[in-house]
Amino acid sequence: MNALGMLAMTALLGVPAGAALLLVLVPGYRLGARLNVGATLLSLLAALSLFGARPEANAYLRVDDFNLYLIVLNNLVSFTTSLFSASYIAHELESGRLTPQYLRFYHAMYQALIFAMNLALLANNIGLLWVAIELATLITVLMVGLYRTRAALEAAWKYFILGSLGIALALFGTILVYLAAQPVIGQGLPAMAWDQLLAHAAAFDPALLNLAFVFLLLGYGTKAGLVPLHAWLPDAHAEGPTPISAVLSGLLLNVALYAVLRFKMLMSANPAALAPGPLMIILGLLSLLFAALMLYRRGDIKRLFAYSSIEHMGIITFAFGMGGPLANFAGLLHMAMHSLTKSAIFFTVGHIAQARGTQRISTIRGLTTTHPALGWGLVAGVLAIAGLPPFGVFTSEFLVVSSTFARQPLLALLLVLGLLLAFGTLLWRLHGMAFGESQGANTPVRSSSLPLLLHLGLVLVAGIWLPEPLVRWFQHVAALLG
Amino acid sequence: MALITDYLVQGGQMLLILLLAPLLTGWVRAIKARLLRRRGPSLLQPYRDLLKLLRKDVVLAESASWLFRVAPYLIFAAIWVAAALVPTFASGLLFNWTADLIAIVALLGTARFFLALAGLDVGTSFGGIGASREMMIASLAEPAMLMMVFTLSLLAGTTQLSTVAHFMLTAEVGLRVSLALALLALMMVAIAENARIPVDNPATHLELTMVHEAMVLEYSGRHLALIELAAALKLLLYLSLLGCIFAPWGMATAGAGLMAYLFGVAAYLAKLALGGFLLALFETSVAKMRVFRVDQFLGAALMLGLLGALLLFVSRSL
Amino acid sequence: MILSLLLSLPVALLTVSGAAVFAHRHPGRSRGIYSATLVLSTVALCVVLIHWLGGHTPATLTLPIGLPWLGAHFRLDALAAFFLVVVNLGGAVASLFALGYGQHEPAPERVLPFFPAFLAGMNLVLLADDAFIFLFAWEFMSLSSWALVLAHHREVANVRAGYLYLVMACFGTLALLLSFGLLAGPQGGYDFATMRAAQLTPGLAALTLVLALLGAGSKAGLVPLHVWLPLAHPAAPSHVSALMSGVMTKVAVYGFIRIVFDLLGEPMAWWWGGLVLSLGGVSAVLGVLYALMQHDLKRLLAYHTVENIGIIFIGLGLALAFQANQMYASAALALTAALFHVLNHSLFKSLLFLGTGAVLTATGERDMERLGGLIHPMPWTALAFLIGAAAISALPPLNGFVSEWLTFQAILLTPELPQWMLKFLAPAVGALLALSAALAAACFVKAFGITFLGRPRSPAAAQARETDRYSLAALFILAALCLLAGILPGLVVDGLAPIVGLLNGGAHLTAQHGQPWLTLAPVAEVKSSYNGLLVLLFMALSGSLAVLLIHRLASDVARRGPAWDCGFPESSPMTQYTAGSFAQPIRRVFGSVVFQAREQVTMPPPGDARAARLEVQLQDPVWDLGYAPITAAVIAVSTRFNVLQYLTIRRYLSLVFGALVLLLLGMVLWR
Amino acid sequence: MHDLGFDIAHFLAGGMVVTSFLLLYQARLSALINVFALHSLVLTLAVGWQAFIQHAPHLYVTAGIALVFKALMIPTALHRIVRRLGIHRTLEVVGGVGRDMLAGAALVALAILVMLPVTATADPLAREDLAFALAVVLLGLLLMVTRQNAVSLVIGFMSLENGLVLAAAGARGMPLAVEISVAFSVLIALIVIGIFLFRIRERFDSVDMQAMDAFREERRR
């Protein structure tokens, strides 16, 4: 069993890394795209096999209740995104926005990104985690700038600067955690290993831990797009290739948040340390309200949904900040649901932008008439992300709002205000785009609806029924998160 | 045996009011003529008019629908039933409990509803004017009426007219401001509902200010007869109502025997005569008001009714 | 057992929805889908009726879906059963109507998949027994009806209506969610049984009430949360409008009753009742005044929904006020009145919307100013619509009158209440109720008179044809029920007794079926009584007697001739009174105060052949005072914040820097 | 010995803070690059000293990396870039140098205040070192925030990274993997920056970030 688990874990890192190297060498975008899909499928299978055989943790890597579902989610979404990407880039190539060399680079980078994210999730070492996230940041910077337009370069530049700053802050926090751990655990690798840290967290110096958490929250929070550290996020989403927007929103934000949560566990394990809750609540509410307001004046469809991602990261952060079994459960669920839904939305948005030749919302009208599949896909996605049943986001928002209100009515009111503001504008844009008389350019697109259907299907199922093991893991992790 | 008597008395009342209604109209007209120093028609002239109309052919407008032909019967039936449910010479009749005061008001509403529809049916502008104004007047008169009902029910603890009449006969009522306000409200509503001066003029045509007559402009023959009869019944109904509530003296109780009934009838006739006289007197002494003053008139009635109800609370709570 | 049967019906409906998606090219799909919904709704109706008549012991069921540690709880009690009857009756009749009406649908692919889902959603709300499933189904219901509102999305107004609808629905759901959050407590006792057992402090209970009022009220269309309703209900296809107005608003009422009367338990303060009462009164009057100003038939009907919801809430408010003072007998009367009106409104509002649907099919118009004279080509539709109009205008002997009469009787009991505020409030609300009833009659004289009577105002109206037999059957089933409920109110009241008892600590009205002649005497016969059956009989007797005698003894000849019209015959149909002119006197009386109505006459100079124009401007005070400022504020704030999208990198870095310094400072100070 | 070791470490870390202030003080781009080289040199010394007193040979590697890359190669490359772009003469400072210095002093105070509550059980060396490292990090950030030019922004960022390395070196026994990755990241960062500066030069006429920001979608809305 364990051997299988180790194999799977190795495959999760090895397959993307190998594929990245291979893809650099492969000419021809068709083959590249297929290889890309194949490699992600392999990773997905490896991730799934972790359900059956969970490997023992070693000094560098580990699989536990927390990261298992994120790993599976990560590889699932990267698989579906690679499917989407295959149909997306074909169109980009035809329309001349990308050249075959760039595509080679793109595919290799895609696999490298998956490698980095898998590494971040699997890491049993805070240093390794940091390295992985830095790697992911650098790769995404390159991918955001892929189109080489002025706007894309500017977005990438902004992302790079802010991302590096975040990374730097996170490194400082990591060092501080090590310093806190070192007198208790001793020098060397064990003082950076999750399982060790968690086991001994109660004995750490609380002042160092507090300081570390501030840096880590700001550092990884930048990557998670929390306000006021969010500035890179909307532009990076809007100007990069859409598959990357999907991965950014769906996966990378989660990975960053995952890192924050890991450190939150340490904080909760140390009774003398500052309670991280209020900090996260403030940042979460700030993100939610700010993003909800920013949604109103957006004219670019991808930027719109990028702000929606900030909003949802705010909700999740808020939920974890509230803590308690219900809110934590909701936060964990919301991470998964948001990632599936938001990437599904970007799938449709990508094709919509191709079909209409624009990302301007005001020029997109009547999608459900001209492109029923895309239009209704967008409708379903937006409704799901807005937290309407029968989709899973509803479950998590239900838990967050109701459990908060019984404890902190004022906070819940702010939360609800943010949710309503966001509803208001997202739905307004949706109505404009999906309904009414269609206008403007109208190219038919070859879109594969499998990724979209798969994501929305999963979100739908989760809205109605959650599998027993998943619930058990969530509850376990929720208890650890305090 | 008693049951049969009850049926007879009830039937007798229905017939009585049907027969008395044109007479009351004639009486009011005669008094008005007298007050204006005219000789005026005979008291029986309304009966003659009705009989004549009944024998005449009906001329229907080409655009009239089935509703136009059904409406007179419906209106007549609704008003007759409503009038029959108001205690006249005796209270506690067999079917008095079929409807309380609220239901009687609503029955009148049914009649008005169909009358207004009939006014709209032919598709002429006069019909529309009448229907529209009638409904505007009713929209204020009906709440005023219900406020009056409210005051009464607060006092008497019931909306059942027979019980109200009984209650009013007892000494414990005393003289109350609320009651006076309610009386005033009811009289104002009665004037408005029966299309009397100053709200409307029952004796005019071809005037842009007419309301009731404008609605029935297209009616002829037996249909017109029924509507006229219904209008007369309605006037009778309101006078009976005023009598029953505010002057229940002489009213026989259920199963009181023939003498009591006869005495009750006599008292009832006297009340009607007095009411008709007062109405005529009032009508000759005021001028018709503009249509758009009517809402102020009726708004005042509504306010009086509400004030009556509220005052009652105050006086009770003190 | 019965519950699993009832639950399988929504599932079957959802399957039908799915089938509708996949069969979107099949020619007979419309008929097939509607037949299926008809059958399923009828089955549900029968099952619930059998259950109801056969003892109504509550049935519960828990399924392993929904929240994992909770499961999905379902329960069928008397309250749910009653509303299930309302929903499935409406569903069945609407389906029957749609068998004919659906043939004319221009975009069936946007109606068929959502119609069964809508029905399923409403059924599930009523069966839910925990907060999660309740809200899930509630929102699902909103969502499916939203899709139906957008069925004709090419009209710009409909898109706006759909948007407003969905936002308000979300608002309502969030309000309900918050109120459930309070009921459930921090431990998350989301099932209704736990909530019933929980004890809230008075403050929290009051908050729950307010939130439930916001949540259910926004769905039901209570002023000032009604703004979406008159836009959204008319936008949907007519049979859906009928369901939304006639049935879905009742589900909202159910939500309110379930939370406030059932879960929250006894009201803790008298002002609860006062609040609900005044909102109800305001809704009743404003609703009907709005309706009077409309000339779109469906919008007029939608505004009347606001009015009738107001009447229902007046009853509920009275019940709360009575319960707060332990006057359970009086509360029973008020509750009976409210529930009776729920049933009645669902009947006649569905009837009227379906009638409008028939008109729409026949003429393609729902603007009254372009209709007229439809009683000639469509006599049967006209008859059914007339019955509905009379019923909603609270005219005896139809059903609308009975429930308003009961409400009045409840108001007449308010002098017994000890609180001064309520003593003053109740008569005032009584006046509002009376005003709304009278105005409703005026409004329906207008609606029926302008649409069906007179002469056609457009070629479309002139060429109308009678509607199909399915539609007629649906119309007449409802019309018959309106009449039946009107003349046999005692039976309905007895049927409502178990529900009233459930919500009212066991107290309900005395059994009515023992009364002679099926009279309705809710308190005692000496106090008040009403017998619709006898009124009908007397009217029928006297009316037919008059017909008989006159036709026998006097004259039965009728000739046709041109209209007399005081000597101006043969004028053009355009000289008829229009909807706008009909409402003018009332607009003058109320409009200048409530709507700041302004009339502007443009008269061409003498010699100019152009038509004179009269323009009326109305302002919705609720929109102006409530929604417009909110919208403006949000836009203003977001515009202000929007600057943050265009900062330089340096400024963004400053933000991060500032956040870091702030947090570090905080840490220093926190020590 | 230990005392001396501590003092020298203290002196070197303090030297880094002073150099950071020098960075803040510079108004010309080429001078800024030179001071950055000095900054890196002090870092090299500090890390080297840490390696010596901790007996941690792997820290010498870190020191070497700092010397070679940050003190020599990067300044050289930046000089070249700056000259090629023709911007080596100008460097506008937002606000004023005096204000920046004042803010810097406040930041240093903040850094020390923040580190104060750390319990005495922690390694005193690490504690002092950390306070200085934090000060360097904050000063680097301040530099990034107060300068408009992309090159000075990069320098600010790298001085910040120097602070990080200082902190990492001060942490006793911190595994080598991290240091290497730090160095790596700087390398990669430099490459990317180079690419970007190159591209930016290609497409924009100046490296002034405001000019870049002016170009933005939705600007007018």
Percent over 90 (pLDDT), chain A: 42
How many Å lie between the alpha carbon of C659 and the closest alpha carbon of chain A?
7
pLDDT at C267: 82
D126–C contact, CB cutoff 8 A: no
Q: Which of C646, C664, C665 sits opposite D219 (nearest CB)?
A: C646
Segment B83-91 mean pLDDT: 85
Strand-strand pairing, C558-561 and C598-602: unpaired
Q: What percent of chain D has pLDDT over 70?
A: 70
Q: Nearest residue of A to residue C68 by CA position?
A: A466
Q: What is the pLDDT of residues C612-663, one digit of tens each?
A: 888 888 888 888 888 899 999 999 998 888 888 887 778 888 899 999 999 9
Residues 6+ apart with CB under 8 A from C475: C97, C351, C354, C355, C358, C380, C381, C384, C385
Alpha-carbon gap, residue D18 to D24, rounded angstroms: 10
State the pLDDT confidence band at A125, using cuts at 50, 70 and 90: confident
Task: Identify the helix (H) or strand (E) that includes residue C616.
Answer: strand C613-617
Question: In the prediction, which pLDDT does D82 show?
Answer: 75
For testing contact with chain A, the best of D116, D153, D162, D192 (most A CBs within 10 A) = D192
Residues sharing a CB contact under 8 Å with residue C501, sequence separation 6 or more, in sequence order: C78, C332, C507, C508
Q: What are phi and psi of C560, to 5 degrees?
A: -105, 145
Mode of pairing for the β-strands spanning C558-561 and B58-61: parallel
Question: How buried is C622 (Cβ within 10 angstroms: 0-12 exposed, 13-18 middle, 19+ buried)?
Answer: middle
Q: State how far the alpha carbon of A243 is from the alpha carbons of A44, A140, A344, A448, B200, in Å.
A: 17, 11, 10, 13, 78
- pLDDT digit string, tens, across residues D180-217: 556 556 655 655 566 555 555 444 434 445 444 444 44
Chains A and B touch (3+ CB pairs under 8 A): no
Q: Has residue A291 got a pLDDT over 80?
A: yes
What angle (nearest 5°) sits at the alpha carbon of residue A12, between those of residues A10 and A13?
A: 70
- Residue C640 sits at the chain D interface (C-beta within 8 Å): no
C24 touching B (Cβ < 8 Å): no
| Residue with more model confidence, D95 or C176 | C176
Contact C3, C59 (CB under 8 A): yes
Given this model, what pLDDT does residue C626 score?
Answer: 86
Query: How many other CB atoms are there within 10 angstroms of residue C283's CB atom?
Result: 30
Do C178 and A402 touch, CB atoms closer than 8 A?
yes
Residue D176 has pLDDT above 60, yes or no: no
Instruction: Name the 3-class secondary structure at A300.
Output: strand
pLDDT of residue D201: 47
What distances in angstroms separate CA B128 from CA B116, B215, B288, C373, C565, one per listed residue?
A: 8, 7, 21, 14, 11
Which chains reach chain A with 3 or more Cβ–Cβ distances below 8 angstroms?
A: C, D
Question: Measured between CB atoms, does C643 come within 8 Å of chain D?
Answer: no
Mean pLDDT of chain A: 89
For an interface test with C, give the residue of D145, D146, D204 to mutate (most C CBs within 10 A). Answer: D145
C and B adjacent (3 or more CB pairs under 8 angstroms): yes
Residue with tokens 């009934």: B261
Chains in contact with chain D (at least 3 beta-carbon pairs closer than 8 A): A, C
Give me the count of residues in chain C: 671
Please state the separation of Cα C345 from the chain's center in Å.
7
For D148, the 3-state DSSP assignment is: coil
Q: Name chain A contacts of D123, Cβ cutoff 8 Å.
A: 179, 182-183
Cross-chain Cβ contact C656/A229 below 8 Å: yes
Residues found in chain D: 221
Reported as a pLDDT band with limits 50, 70 and 90, residue D47 is confident
Mean pLDDT of D50-66: 81
Tell me the C-alpha distance between A159 and A156, whole Å. Answer: 5
- Of A55-59, B179-183, D205-209, the one with minimum mean pLDDT is D205-209
Tell which residue, A210, A206, A179, has the closest CA to residue A272: A206
Residue A315: the pLDDT is: 95
Torsion of CA C103, C105, C106, C108, to 10 degrees: -90
Question: Is A423 within 8 Å of C634 when comparing Cβ atoms?
Answer: no
Number of domains forming the structure of chain B: 1
CB contact under 8 A, D199 and A171: no
Using DSSP, state whether A54 is helix, strand or coil: coil
Contact C139 A165 (CB under 8 A): no
* Interface membership of B110 toward C (CB under 8 Å): yes
Shortest distance between the Cα of A20 and any Cα of chain C, in A, equals 32
What is the structure's pLDDT at D205?
39
D144 interfaces chain C, CB cutoff of 8 Å: yes
Q: What is the pLDDT of residue A53?
A: 80
Closest residue by Cα to residue C188 from C125, C130, C265: C130
Residue C437: burial class (beta carbons within 10 Å; 0-12, 13-18, 19+): buried
Does residue A281 sit at the C interface (CB-CB below 8 Å)?
no
Q: Tell me the backbone φ, ψ of residue D213, rounded to 5 degrees.
A: -70, -25
Does residue D166 contact residue D43 with C-beta atoms inside 8 Å? yes
Terminal Cα distance for chain D, rounded: 66
Domain membership of residue B59 as a residue range = 2-317
Of B62, B81, B222, which has the smallest distance from its Cβ to C560's Cβ?
Answer: B62
Question: How far is C253 from C176, CA to CA, in rounded Å?
Answer: 13
Interchain pair B310, C525: CB under 8 A = no
Paired tokens of C500: 């009233």
Identity at B222, one-letter amino acid code: R
Cβ-based neighbour number of residue B95 at 10 Å: 20
Q: Report the alpha-carbon distance of residue D49 to residue D129 in Å, rounded.
A: 12
Angstrom distance (rounded) from CA C171 to CA D211: 43
Chain A interface includes D187 (CB < 8 A): no
Confidence of residue D219 (pLDDT cuts 50, 70, 90): very low
Residues of chain C short of pLDDT 50, as ranges, are: none
What predicted TM-score, i.e. pTM, was given to this entire model? 0.93
Q: How far is CA D126 from the centre of its chain?
A: 19
Phi and psi (nearest 5°) for C618?
-120, 145
The residue behind tokens 């979460």 is A284
3-state helix, strand, coil in chain A (%, to 5): 80, 0, 15
The predicted model gives B144-171 an average pLDDT of: 83
CA distance A34 to A32: 5
Burial class (CB in 10 A: 0-12, 13-18, 19+), B155: buried
* Nearest C-alpha in B relative to C588: B292
Record: contact D213-C649, CB cut-off 8 A = yes
Percentage of chain B modeled with pLDDT above 90: 36
Measured between CA atoms, how close is C29 to chain B, in angstroms? 39
| From D122, D188, D221, residue closest to A138, measured CB to CB | D188
What stretch of H or E contains C72?
Answer: strand C72-76
C-alpha distances out from residue A256 to A222, A317, C440, Å = 8, 11, 61
Is the pLDDT at D76 greater than 60? The verdict is: yes
- DSSP-derived letter for residue C645 is G
Q: How many CA atoms lie within 13 A of C656 on its CB side?
A: 37
Rounded CA separation B27/B16 (Å): 16
Predicted confidence (pLDDT) per residue in A322-337, tens digit: 988 889 999 999 999 9
Helices assigned H by DSSP within C78-198: 78-101, 114-127, 131-149, 156-184, 192-197
Place A366 in a pLDDT band, splitting at 50, 70 and 90.
confident
When CB atoms are compared, the residue of D126, D174, D212 closest to A154 is D212
Residues 6+ apart with CB under 8 A from A302: A237, A238, A242, A245, A346, A349, A353, A359
Residue B139 pLDDT > 80: yes
C464 contact partners, CB below 8 Å, separation of at least 6: C359, C362, C363, C374, C377, C378, C456
Distances from the Cα of D57 to the Cα of A185, A334, C496, D101, angstroms: 22, 47, 89, 37
CA D194, CA A207: separation in Å to the nearest integer? 39
Chain segment A397-418, per-residue pLDDT in tens: 999 998 888 888 899 999 999 9
Q: What are phi and psi of D139, to 5 degrees?
A: -65, -40
Q: Helices C469-487 and C489-503 sit at what angle, rounded to 10 degrees?
A: 80
Asked if B205 contacts B284 with a C-beta cutoff of 8 angstroms, the reply is no
Start-end of H helices in C150-228: 156-184, 192-197, 202-220
Report yes or no: C527 at the B interface, CB cutoff 8 Å: yes
Phi, psi of C73 (to 5 degrees): -95, 135
D108 C-beta neighbours (distance < 10 Å), count: 20
CB proximity B6 to C under 8 Å: no
Q: Which residue has the tokens 């118009």?
A: C365
**pLDDT of B128 higher than 70:** yes
| Percent over 70 (pLDDT), chain A | 99
Tell me the sheet residues that pair with B166: none
DSSP 3-state assignment of B194?
coil
Of residues B176 and C182, the one with the higher pLDDT is C182
Per DSSP, A145 falls in state G
pLDDT band, residue D166 (cuts 50/70/90)? confident
ipTM above 0.95, yes or no: no
C665 to each of A267, C529, D109, D111, how far by Cα in Å?
A: 19, 76, 11, 9
Q: Chains contacting C with at least 3 CB pairs below 8 Å? A: A, B, D
User: What number is the average pLDDT over the span A42-53?
Assistant: 89
**In the block, which residue shows the tokens 């008397």?**
C78
